[in-house]
Structure 1
Amino acid sequence: MANDLPNTEDDDDIQLFHEAVKGARPVEAKRILHAPKKPKPIPRQLIRDEQQALVDSLSDHYIPAHELESGEELLYLRDGQSPLVLSKLRRGHWVVQAHIDLHGLVSDEARLYVSEFIADCKKRGLRCIRIVHGKGLGSRNKEPVLKHKLRNWLMQKDEVIAYAQARTNDGGSGAVIVLLKA
């Protein structure tokens, strides 16, 4: 049988190998430490620019082409929307999914807060939100400063389909319910 014969070729290879490494010493296994990965840079200027764009996107001096408001009640319906949307919003057809309170904020803080809140709600897929603006009882003239500014800000936001004064149990004349695009 061919398998019973000694394999001199393999023995020669092994002997050559042993001769080649006879003076070698085993290497100590050392743990190689890699430098930690650098964190991704924080785009601070981009963040500042986006915040400024949010602030700049809402003007206090916006004059709407038409308004649906009657007296002091806040009402708005974007062009092309069915009046049924506003009717349903006023009756509480949609559940309020998130809300913010603007009490204690000055106009610039409130404008930024509203912009960021609407952008966040849009990202999260929320449709119906409440914004509490207050009744102005704490202001100098006892008039709702933020209420009137909020009206203009919301009309400028493309995401806003409609808004209406909140029902009594949701804040009444001190809050507004806003319907956002899907």
Structure 2
Amino acid sequence: MSKQELSLFQAEMSDVRPLPASDQIESPRRSRPDLAQLARRDAAIARPQRDSNPLTLPDAVPEVGPLDIVGEKKNGVQEGVYRKLRLGKYEIQARLDLHRITTRDARVMVHDFLTHSFRHGLRTLLITHGKGNGRMKSHVMHWMLEADLVLAWHSAKPPHGGTGATYVLLRKSPDDSRRTREEYGG
């Protein structure tokens, strides 16, 4: 610092006096946190929950047209069982309607629907995705491929929604498989 700068600094600080010494500590008064602050604090403290949903939400999925008839069976599904599913011969045990649902919410709903149905021993389901522009239908078909619980699926017959809905066949629960083996001696 030059002599000129030092003298200018001392001139500016000439009227400054030190604070009196004190043994007391003054802490700033804090108001109680509001709800938003509490929520932010809880979110910062909480451990991030791991998403247990195996269904993905990719940016792009194979495009399915709104009027396209879709269907597939995974390995191990007998042709007669798949034919009955395609023809709508099985009783629909549960339904899920995805109209006016975002794909992000639909991903969660489809996973929960499949899991809940499997736990309760339901095998034949109907997912109504609508025709629209085919975007939701494309995602549902993608999820059917990913879902381990799903054995087969096919576009529904017109009374059940036609190409705007899909029949889904779930695998048997271990208890149902055991009961079938006992009943038929397998």
Letter of the structure 2 residue corresponding to residue 150 of structure 1: V
Q: Give the whole-Å Cα distance in 2 for the aligned partners of 1:82 and 1:60.
A: 30
Q: Give the whole-Å Cα distance in 1 for the aligned partners of 2:109 and 2:61.
A: 21
RMSD: 2.3
Q: Does 1:72 find its partner at 2:71? A: no
TM-aligned CA deviation for residue 84 of structure 1: 2.0
Deviations 1:79-135 (A, max 9, x none): 232222221101122100010100111111000000000000001100000000011
Larger Rg, first or second structure (1 or 2): 1
TM-aligned CA deviation for residue 180 of structure 1: 0.4
Tell me which stretches of 4 or more aligned residues in structure 1 moved more than 6 Å: none
Structure 1, 115-124 or 85-94: larger mean CA deviation: 85-94
Retained in 2: the 8 A contact 1:128–1:179? yes
Q: Give the whole-Å Cα distance in 1 for the aligned partners of 2:155 and 2:117.
A: 19
Letter of the structure 1 residue corresponding to residue 96 of structure 2: I
TM-score where L is the length of structure 2: 0.60
Which of 75, 86, 89 aligns to 1:90? It is 86
Letter of the structure 2 residue corresponding to residue 171 of structure 1: G
* Stretches of structure 1 lacking an aligned partner (at least 5 in a row): 1-44, 65-70, 137-142
Secondary structure of 1:92's match? coil
Retained in 2: the 8 A contact 1:60–1:152? no
Task: Give 1:152's aligned residue.
Answer: 142
TM-aligned CA deviation for residue 63 of structure 1: 7.4
Q: Does 1:107 find its partner at 2:103? A: yes
Letter of the structure 2 residue corresponding to residue 53 of structure 1: S
Q: Does 1:171 find its partner at 2:161? A: yes
Task: Give 1:58's aligned residue.
Answer: 55
Q: Give the whole-Å Cα distance in 2 for the aligned partners of 1:63 and 1:134.
A: 17
Deviations 1:125-174 (A, max 9, x none): 000000000111xxxxxx12110110010111111010000000001010
Deviations 1:50-71 (A, max 9, x none): xx211xx11244979xxxxxx8
Q: Give the whole-Å Cα distance in 1 for the aligned partners of 2:156 and 2:57.
A: 22
Task: Give 1:130's aligned residue.
Answer: 126
Q: Give the whole-Å Cα distance in 2 for the aligned partners of 1:134 and 1:92.
A: 18
Task: Give 2:115's aligned residue.
Answer: 119
Retained in 1: the 8 A contact 2:57–2:107? no
Secondary structure of 1:113's match? helix
